[in-house]
């Protein structure tokens, strides 16, 4: 009887234990499902909201990015571009001596991005430079003869047009100012003539200035997505498949990818595209200031504490900055919603604007923060050989005892800077030809420059000779 009672108690205790364990498991599962539902609710709130910068961002998108959607949206809108050029060549010294030259055909290749259903394409200027004919091949192996609509050599952007009785797939523009460092991106192009190639990476930096490597002033998006020869002119897109840049350059010692590639921001490319279609050329709007980016070294020389921003050395009395109240010694901290920490931040944002645009500019004047409304004016400056030049004021020339020349407004050419060329110098001759106005520079765009003459601030002539 006692053994029977013990067996019953044992069965009872086991039953109770099983019930308790079951309750604990059920409670845990319920709580897990509640947390999962709560997390999903947060995702739904985020995706249905208008604010793209939200503390409840879609974590799955960043932890496990899915590139397939972006690839599918873009791969058929990126084309192969073939540039055929005819160059004169001589087979011997006698041919060269007697002027007997032959036409030699050379072929270059790159990529392009279809940005409208009627066949407009954005590519790099260097992809189609000196082309006698341009052929575009789409991802479905259809080839078209392309027309060069226009280009901007300074930003390395060119616009092509192909015609057919079909609607082409195209990539829509995104706002490149809203991109963030660390954001996932895809590079789509045709490296080494391998069509329809997609590589992935992140944005490594923004407003990257390559003036130390190239005399043209730029403000690039830097990425570690693999970009090689042939990718030039291709698309840099975000994870949604929208265009944030035109792949343009790599930084490498062997012309191969080593982790650094650069793209013209889509806001700049789009503005050039729209300007060329509407006006036939690029409309540049300027603040009308000259100056320098701040760092600890020049801040100490200037006797100020700020080490970020754009320090104004001079304002043009006829331009928008001066008319709005900006003066020498002011520091530009922000334009609209864009923080200005260096010159490429400033130039990159202004390159996406036009004459007549009104900007909200935040400045620091001796520690006092001020907001000014500035209207951009039509640029009277030209870009040449890494310098920004303007027609010289007659009185300014008389003070230097000269009759002609262009005044240097900004010098971004590191070679000329090392030779001592500074703002205020006057360019008077190129290749021993007199320069009287900015229009005289057009004849030197394709010419090899071996000599430039300047007049310095004291009226002395400096002749620079290049090998």
- What would the pLDDT profile of 437-462 be if each residue is shown by its tens digit? 888 898 887 788 899 999 999 999 99
Q: pLDDT over 90 for what percent of the chain?
A: 54
Residue 273's pLDDT band (boundaries 50, 70, 90)? very high
Residue 466 has pLDDT above 90, yes or no: no
Query: Of 358, 285, 348, 367, whose CA–CA distance to 324 is shortest?
Result: 358
Residue 26 has pLDDT above 90, yes or no: no
Confidence (pLDDT) at 228: 85
SS3 (DSSP) at 228: coil
The C-alpha atoms of residue 204 and residue 183 are separated, in whole angstroms, by 8
Confidence (pLDDT) at 27: 58
* Residues facing residue 365 across a β-bridge: 368
Q: What is the mean pLDDT of the chain?
A: 84
pLDDT in tens, 349-379: 999 999 999 999 999 999 999 999 999 998 7
Residue 215's pLDDT band (boundaries 50, 70, 90)? very low
pLDDT in tens, 48-63: 344 444 444 454 444 5
Confidence (pLDDT) at 165: 85
The C-alpha atoms of residue 211 and residue 208 are separated, in whole angstroms, by 9
Confidence (pLDDT) at 412: 79
Residue 96's pLDDT band (boundaries 50, 70, 90)? low
Residue 90 has pLDDT above 60, yes or no: no
Residue 143's pLDDT band (boundaries 50, 70, 90)? very high
> Which range (128-132, 154-158, 252-256, 373-377) has the least confidence?
252-256
Token pair of 4, please? Answer: 């029977």
Confidence (pLDDT) at 316: 84
Which residues carry out catalysis? 126, 156, 232
Compute CA 394 distance to the chain's CA centroid, rounded to the nearest angstrom.
Answer: 37
Residue 236's pLDDT band (boundaries 50, 70, 90)? very high
Which residue in this structure is represented by tokens 């790099």? 124
Four-point Cα dihedral 172, 173, 178, 180, nearest 10: 70
> Which range (94-103, 132-141, 331-340) has the least confidence?
94-103
Which residue in this structure is represented by tokens 């609509």? 149
The C-alpha atoms of residue 303 and residue 47 are separated, in whole angstroms, by 49
Confidence (pLDDT) at 28: 55
Confidence (pLDDT) at 296: 92
Q: What is the pTM of this model?
A: 0.73
Residue 2 has pLDDT above 60, yes or no: no
Residue 64's pLDDT band (boundaries 50, 70, 90)? low
pLDDT in tens, 398-443: 999 999 999 998 887 888 988 999 989 999 999 999 999 888 898 8
Q: Would you say 224 and 236 are in contact if contact means Cβ atoms under 8 Å apart?
A: no
Radius of gyration of the chain (CA): 30
Mean pLDDT (whole number) for 183-197? 89
Q: Is the dihedral of CA 118, 172, 151, 409 positive or negative?
A: positive
Confidence (pLDDT) at 431: 93
Confidence (pLDDT) at 253: 58
The C-alpha atoms of residue 40 and residue 56 are separated, in whole angstroms, by 11
Phi, psi torsion values for 44, nearest 5 degrees: -65, -40
Residue 269's pLDDT band (boundaries 50, 70, 90)? very high
Residue 124's pLDDT band (boundaries 50, 70, 90)? very high
Helix (H) or strand (E) holding 31: helix 2-48
Buried residues in 222-247 as b, exposed as e (16+ CB within 10 A): bbbbbbbbbbbbbbbbbbebbbbbbb
Residue 37's pLDDT band (boundaries 50, 70, 90)? very low
Domains of the chain, each with CATH number or no CATH: 66-282 (2.40.10.120), 285-378 (2.30.42.10), 382-465 (2.30.42.10)
Confidence (pLDDT) at 55: 46
């Amino acid at each position: 009887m006692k053994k029977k009672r013990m067996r019953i108690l044992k069965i009872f205790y086991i039953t109770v234990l099983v019930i308790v364990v079951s309750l604990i498991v059920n409670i845990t599962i319920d709580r897990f499902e509640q947390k999962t539902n709560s997390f999903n609710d947060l995702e739904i709130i985020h995706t249905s909201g208008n604010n793209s910068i939200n503390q409840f961002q879609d974590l799955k998108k960043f932890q496990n990015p899915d590139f397939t959607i972006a690839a599918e949206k873009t791969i058929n809108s990126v084309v192969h571009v073939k540039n055929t050029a005819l160059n004169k060549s001589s087979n011997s010294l006698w041919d060269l001596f007697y002027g007997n030259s032959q036409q030699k055909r050379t072929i270059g290749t790159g990529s392009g991005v279809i940005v409208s259903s009627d066949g407009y394409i954005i590519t790099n200027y260097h992809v189609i430079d000196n082309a006698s004919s341009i052929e575009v091949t789409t991802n479905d192996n259809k080839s078209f003869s392309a027309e060069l609509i226009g280009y901007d050599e300074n930003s390395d952007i060119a616009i092509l047009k192909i015609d057919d009785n079909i609607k082409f797939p195209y990539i829509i523009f995104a706002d490149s100012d809203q991109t963030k460092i660390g954001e996932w991106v895809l590079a789509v192009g045709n490296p080494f003539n391998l069509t329809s190639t997609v590589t992935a990476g992140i944005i490594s930096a923004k407003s990257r200035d390559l003036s130390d490597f190239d005399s043209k002033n730029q403000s690039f998006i830097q990425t570690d997505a693999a970009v090689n020869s042939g990718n030039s002119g291709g698309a840099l897109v975000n994870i949604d498949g929208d265009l944030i840049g035109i792949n343009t350059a790599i930084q490498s010692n062997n012309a191969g990818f080593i982790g650094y590639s650069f793209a013209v921001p889509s806001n700049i490319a789009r503005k050039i595209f729209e300007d060329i279609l509407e006006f036939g050329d690029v409309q540049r709007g300027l603040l009308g200031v000259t100056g320098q980016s701040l760092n600890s070294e020049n801040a100490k020389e200037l006797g100020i504490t700020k080490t970020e921003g754009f320090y104004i050395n001079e304002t043009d009395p006829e331009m928008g900055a001066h008319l709005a109240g900006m003066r020498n010694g002011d520091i530009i901290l922000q334009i609209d919603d864009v923080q200005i920490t260096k010159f490429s931040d400033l130039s990159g944002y202004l390159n996406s604007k036009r004459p007549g645009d009104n900007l909200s500019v935040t400045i620091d004047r001796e520690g006092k923060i001020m907001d000014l409304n500035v209207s951009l004016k039509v640029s009277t400056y030209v870009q040449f050989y890494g310098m920004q030049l303007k027609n010289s004021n007659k009185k300014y020339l008389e003070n230097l005892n000269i009759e002609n020349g262009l005044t240097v407004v900004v010098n971004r050419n590191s070679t000329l800077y090392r030779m001592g060329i500074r703002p205020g110098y006057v360019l008077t001759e190129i290749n021993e030809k007199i320069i009287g106005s900015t229009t005289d520079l057009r004849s030197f765009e394709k010419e090899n420059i071996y000599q430039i003459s300047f007049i310095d601030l004291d009226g002395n002539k400096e002749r620079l000779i290049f090998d």
